[in-house]
Structure 1
Amino acid sequence: MGFPGTWMTESESMVYRVVPKCACSTIGQIMFYSDHGEFFDGDIHDAQTGLHKWALDHSKDPITQRIQAHDTYAFTCVRNPYTRILSSFFDKICGIQRNGKRYRGNLVPLLIQKYGIEVGGDDGKQEFDQIKSFRRFLLFARDTIRWRRPMDPDIHWSAMSGHISTFIVNGGRYDNIFWTESFNDGMAEVLSHVETQKPVDLAKIPRFNESEGHGPKRAHPVEDYFDDLSMHLVYEIYKKDFDLFRYDFENPANKMPIGEIDLDEVHAKLGD
């Protein structure tokens, strides 16, 4: 299986396991900048050069060697499951993607037909009942993850622990897992352990939010989207994420973690 979703600087200074909707665009650009002293011109997910990626054939050997040797600093980044699934809904379901089309072609029409979801019209800009539609999307997300119906789960709403575990199962070990919610502290910790080709001043790094502006703006506080049933569904899908990465399941309004991540526990529980 190898190391899907893994990126590494060309200088082999650091290895990163991408977790969708967890600041991956910004992290990728920082990695690119740390080697080249400039940012990739465009969405870093489109870069075919300047960064090793598991999806590129010439990158597979160097990534595998560094991960198996455990001599390159390896990290990933996580996010509160409540805000992550909300962000997926507004970006991927309601939003028009950067190619000018809906995400995954017939996905949105399927959701409108089977789950009664509204997405703000053809351009995603019209008024609609965001809370009602989001809760119906949550049912769909649960169906894809639990029963793989009406389709396989998408990487943007499948559990973070699932993404993170592939790295461990295939012989990798994380040196650091940090929270999107305290991004600068976490990324500073990573950079303090590696020698970069070019100096990186985190205070001057812009946020590369590639999904910004794709979809309608969230009209309500996070907690308004989650009633008792939705919280139950979220816990059913993301129990491991809440437990391992120390997020507050009881209070959707609290996006901050409530404890420290135990790396040994993560490796033990996700390495089966």
Structure 2
Amino acid sequence: MGFPGTWMTESESMVYRVVPKCACSTIGQIMYYSDHGAFFDGDIHDATDGLHKWALDHSQAPIERNVKAHGSYSFTCVRNPYTRILSSFFDKICGIQRNGRRYRGNLVPSLVQKYGIEVGDPETGFEFDQIRSFRRFLLFARDTVRWRRPMDPDIHWSAMSGHISTFIVNGGRYDNIFWTERFNDGMQSVLDAVETPKSVDLAAIPRFNESEGHGPKRAHPVEDYFDDLSMHLVYEMYKKDFVLFKYDFENPANKMPVGEVDLDEVHAKLGN
């Protein structure tokens, strides 16, 4: 199994377990910059050198050796499950991807047909009933997470705890799990704990939101998208995420965490 989704600086100053839709583009660019004093020219997900990634064959041995020995400071970043699933919908289902096409080829047409989802069209300014369409998408997402049909859950809406657990189960240990909602504080706490070849001034780092501008803008407050049934579906998919990462299930309008992440609890509950 190894350590899928794990990135490590070439200097081995830090190890990061990627969680999709949780500031991963910005974190990857900060890691790259901390080694090279410059950002990767393009989407950091496309980089094949300058940063160790488990998906690259030459990176697997150094990552495995480091993580199993806990040789570097290891961290990840999480996000409120309500805003994360909404972001996945607008980016991956409604948005046009970097290659100019819809995400995963025939996925969107099949959702339009089977679940009655509308996604709008860039030609007409993405006009559609966002709330109704999102709630239908939630039914599809729940079907993938709960029953793995009509497909396995996509990494962008599978539970954060699932991503985070693979690192623990295979022998890794986190030193820090911070929140996207308090990104500067969290990322600064990582940088304070490590020594990097190049110094990083977090205040001067731009945000690398690679999914922005490719799809419709969210037209309503977060809470408007979630009625009782939607909240039930979200809890069914993300109960562990709410509990372990201390987010407020009762109030979709509150994106901020309501407690501190207990690393011992995370390792105990995700480590089997």
For normalisation by structure 1, the TM-score amounts to 0.99
Superposition pairs for residues 117-196 of structure 1, below 5 Å? 117-121=117-121, 123=123, 125-196=125-196
- Aligned partner of residue 7 in structure 1, secondary structure: strand
Q: Aligned pair in 2 of structure 1 residues 10, 33: CA closer, same or farther (>3 Å)?
A: same
Contact 1:97 1:214 in 2 (8 A): yes
TM-aligned CA deviation for residue 121 of structure 1:
2.5
Query: Counterpart in 1 of 2:4?
Result: 4
Q: Aligned pair in 2 of structure 1 residues 124, 5: CA closer, same or farther (>3 Å)?
A: farther
Superposition pairs for residues 1-272 of structure 1, below 5 Å? 1-121=1-121, 123=123, 125-272=125-272
2: distance between equivalents of 1:3 and 1:50? Answer: 19
- Aligned partner of residue 75 in structure 2, secondary structure: strand
Contact 2:15 2:73 in 1 (8 A): yes
Contact 2:95 2:216 in 1 (8 A): yes
Q: CA RMSD in A?
A: 0.8
Contact 2:144 2:150 in 1 (8 A): yes
Q: Deviations over 1:42-82 (max 9, x none)?
A: 00000000000000000001000110111200000000000
1: distance between equivalents of 2:228 and 2:108? Answer: 26
Contact 1:95 1:124 in 2 (8 A): no
Contact 2:122 2:215 in 1 (8 A): no
2: distance between equivalents of 1:254 and 1:200? Answer: 31
TM-aligned CA deviation for residue 214 of structure 1:
1.3
AA at the equivalent of 1:18: V
- Aligned partner of residue 181 in structure 2, secondary structure: helix
2: distance between equivalents of 1:95 and 1:123? Answer: 12
AA at the equivalent of 1:147: W
AA at the equivalent of 2:117: I
1: distance between equivalents of 2:195 and 2:235? Answer: 39
2: distance between equivalents of 1:20 and 1:237? Answer: 16
2: distance between equivalents of 1:107 and 1:24? Answer: 24
Structure 1 unaligned blocks of 5 or more:
none
Q: Deviations over 1:235-262 (max 9, x none)?
A: 0000000000000000000000000000
Structure 2 unaligned blocks of 5 or more:
none
TM-aligned CA deviation for residue 95 of structure 1:
0.2
Contact 2:226 2:252 in 1 (8 A): yes
Contact 2:126 2:215 in 1 (8 A): no
1: distance between equivalents of 2:263 and 2:204? Answer: 30
AA at the equivalent of 1:180: T
TM-aligned CA deviation for residue 90 of structure 1:
0.1
Contact 1:78 1:179 in 2 (8 A): yes
- Aligned partner of residue 178 in structure 2, secondary structure: strand
Contact 1:96 1:123 in 2 (8 A): no
Q: Aligned pair in 2 of structure 1 residues 123, 242: CA closer, same or farther (>3 Å)?
A: farther
1: distance between equivalents of 2:200 and 2:126? Answer: 41
Tell me the percent identity: 86
* Poorly superposed stretches of 4+, deviation over 4 Å: none
- Aligned partner of residue 177 in structure 1, secondary structure: strand
- Aligned partner of residue 49 in structure 1, secondary structure: coil
For normalisation by structure 2, the TM-score amounts to 0.99
- Aligned partner of residue 210 in structure 1, secondary structure: coil
Q: Deviations over 1:180-220 (max 9, x none)?
A: 00000000000011100101000000000000011100000
1: distance between equivalents of 2:169 and 2:215? Answer: 35
